[in-house]
Amino acid sequence: MAAGSARCVAEYSGQPYDGGMTNPERAADRAARRISRRWPVISGLSAVALAALLGLVVVVRANGVALEVDTEWMDEIIEHRSAIWEIPSLFMNALGGGLFGVLIVPLAITLAIVLINRPWAAGYYLVATVLSAGGVQLLKQLFGRARPENMLVTSDFGSFPSGHVSNAATMAVCLAIIFPRLWVALAGAAYTIVMLLSRTYLGAHWLTDTIGGLLLGAGVAVVLWAPVAAKLDGERELAARRRLERARQKGTPA
């Protein structure tokens, strides 16, 4: 009924009816459109929940002194350090930080998404990455938490939250939203967990720093997803339709 009405309006106005083939929001399913309409509520609740969780992780600490869970975890890590775990941890350190992790990887992923004709998804991913990184630096300056003493790498100022983990969580959640496949979600979750473990193994962060980074990175991705949910869903649907149309054209005899 809605499609028929849209067709009539298009024909009456003299515009060609494309069945939603060029309008991402029109092509989105109802659930995604409802999320988009309710984005102030969803974004607000997500932001409040994020702030509350960060408060529980950070503010509860006593005047910058490491929490008991932090010291116990770090003692276990130091006790079980070995070259077998140090090499992959150093690899994750390079992969998730510095110029490579903060600039090259996000830009490469953004470009790859653009090349598959998903501009809304590319913009969403890039903005989420930038805001997540900005949030990390803001909280680092705000809390100024000292890093552990037994570090195996050099790092910048501020231990809370972990920028490496925040970046990993933002990437994982964004890609799971852009490409809603089980294997994408599982790969992202595994990557984030390995990054979390590697940061504490190297002594670059307390355990609660990595949890804070996880909450921040995932929270930013979810908050930014809410207002563009319909566009991302519709854009994905349009891409699928275009692939199907190309496949049909290739299968049509000359």
Segment 195-203 mean pLDDT = 95
pLDDT in tens, 71-91: 899 999 988 888 888 999 999
Please give the residue that has the higher pLDDT: either 74 or 65: 74
Query: For position 9, what pLDDT does the model report?
Result: 36
Q: What is the pLDDT of residue 118?
A: 93
Q: Mean pLDDT, to the nearest integer, of 34-48? A: 63
CA dist., res. 220 & res. 226, Å (int): 10
- The token pair that represents 78 in the structure block: 């130091």
What is the structure's pLDDT at 31?
61
Q: What is the crossing angle of helices 30-37 and 39-58, to 10°?
A: 70
Rg, Å, the chain Cα set: 22
Per-residue pLDDT band for 172 (boundaries 50, 70, 90) equals: very high
Question: Rounded mean pLDDT of the chain?
Answer: 81
- Dist CA 77 CA 219 (whole Å): 28
C-alpha 102/C-alpha 71 separation (Å) is 29
What is the predicted pLDDT for the residue at 13?
40
pLDDT at res. 15:
43
Res. 169: pLDDT tops 60: yes
Q: Which of 9-18, 27-36, 201-210 has the highest mean pLDDT?
A: 201-210
Point out the least confidently predicted range of 47-51, 58-62, 68-72, 190-194.
58-62
31-45, 96-110, 153-167, 189-203 — which is least confidently predicted? 31-45
| Percentage above 90 pLDDT, the chain | 39
Taking alpha carbons only, the member of 87, 73, 93 closest to residue 206 is 73
* No. of helices (H) and no. of strands (E), the chain: 12, 0
Query: What is residue 57's predicted lDDT score, i.e. its pLDDT?
Result: 66
Name which of 23, 35, 44 is nearest 229 in CA terms. Answer: 35
- Does the pLDDT at position 17 exceed 50? no
Band (53; pLDDT cuts 50, 70, 90): confident
